[in-house]
Amino acid sequence: MLFVDNLHVHYGLQHALKGISFTVQPKEIVTLIGANGAGKTSIVMAISNLIRKSAGSIKFLGQDITQSEPSDIVKQGICHIPEGRLIFPYLTVEENLILGDFGNTSANPNRLNENLDQVYQLFPRLKERRKQNGGTLSGGEQQMLAIGRGLMLDPKLIMLDEPSLGLAPIIVEQIFELILKIRDWGKTILLIEQNAKMALEIADRGLVIENGIVSLSGNAATLANDPGVIAAYLGI
């Protein structure tokens, strides 16, 4: 579904990504784990074409999207839920969700209301607060809003960047359960996480990113038992 081939990114003289290659198959959860600054966020930013790539190519559903405009990439069905959530604090919850519809290319004239209903069903909390400003929500609710807004696009691939960042453990668990639920709807998920233990629990496959290269990849369960991964990322 998604093919990333030999991706290179430079920040000035800094060589941040040094030839990243991986694929994501339909209905998979693939997780990218690694330490702060390893290049995980750079990978998704490069896929969304928000930063300049120095080399490499990205294909999605057979189309080359390496140099497409960020707004066109969204319209292909790739939803990027960024680190820090980036919800609009002075727009209401519902307005935030409506914005998620901009990249939706479906011809169904009722899609906005249908998708809103679907998101409200998944997150009853958002429905309760739909007239409230996004900035007044708690961190967990904001993350739910960001995910709900992404679902308004009815995307094929969802790239989630650090959804657990700054949330209480019990909320993190809710979010991860939700990711599984979304996958069961038939969505494909690329999950960036620092919380490697939880990410490997729900993922099918994992890639360990270290200093801009893929140092290890494979089945999530195998990775979770790899002595090197345990020592470096699982903190046991």
Partner 1 sequence: MFWLQQIFNGITQGSIYALMAIGYSIILGIIGLVTFVHGEVIMIGAFAGFFMVTFLKANFFLAVLAGFAASWLLGIIIERVCYRPFRSGPREIALIATIGLSILLRSLSQVTFGTEQKLMPDLLNSHFIPLGQIRITNIQLLIIFTVFILALLLHQFFYKTKTGIALRAVSMNKQAAALLGVHVNRTILLGNALGCALGGVSGVLLGIYYNSVHPVMGASVAMKAFTATVFGGIGSIPGAALGGILLGIFENLGVAIFSSGYRDIISFSILILILLIRPQGILGRKELER
Q: With beta carbons less than 8 A apart as the criterion, state whether 60 and 76 touch.
A: yes
Residue 70 contacts partner 1 per CB under 8 A: yes
State which of residues 1, 55, 61, 91 lies at the interface with partner 1 (CB under 8 A).
91
Nearest distance from C-beta of residue 58 to partner 1, angstroms: 16
State which of residues 6, 25, 54, 71 lies at the interface with partner 1 (CB under 8 A).
71
Cα separation, 154 vs 26, in Å, equals 15
Cα separation, 230 vs 35, in Å, equals 13
Of 7-15, 18-26, 97-105, 198-206, which segment contacts partner 1 by CB under 8 A? 97-105
Cα separation, 14 vs 213, in Å, equals 14
Nearest distance from C-beta of residue 120 to partner 1, angstroms: 18
Lookup: tokens for 197 = 């233990």
**36 vs 131 by CB, closer to partner 1:** 131
Q: Is 17 left (phi over 0), alpha (psi -120 to 50) or beta?
A: beta
98-103, long-range: CB < 8 A, 24+ apart: 98/152, 99/149, 99/152, 100/148, 100/149, 100/150, 100/151, 100/152, 100/153, 101/152, 101/153, 102/74, 103/71, 103/74, 103/75, 103/79, 103/153
> Which of the residues 149 through 188 are near partner 1 (CB under 8 A)?
149, 153
**95 vs 210 by CB, closer to partner 1:** 95
Binding mask 21-50 vs partner 1 (x if CB under 8 A, - otherwise)? Answer: ---------------------------x-x
Residue 135 contacts partner 1 per CB under 8 A: yes
Nearest distance from C-beta of residue 167 to partner 1, angstroms: 17
Residue 90 contacts partner 1 per CB under 8 A: yes
Strand 2-11 to strand 55-60: parallel, antiparallel, or no bridges (unpaired)?
Answer: antiparallel
State which of residues 61, 98, 171, 234 lies at the interface with partner 1 (CB under 8 A).
98
Nearest distance from C-beta of residue 77 to partner 1, angstroms: 10
Measured torsion, CA atoms of residues 25, 29, 34, 38, in degrees rounded to the nearest 10: 50
Q: Which residues bind partner 1 (CB under 8 A)?
A: 48, 50, 70-71, 74-75, 80, 82, 84, 86-91, 95, 98-104, 135, 149, 153
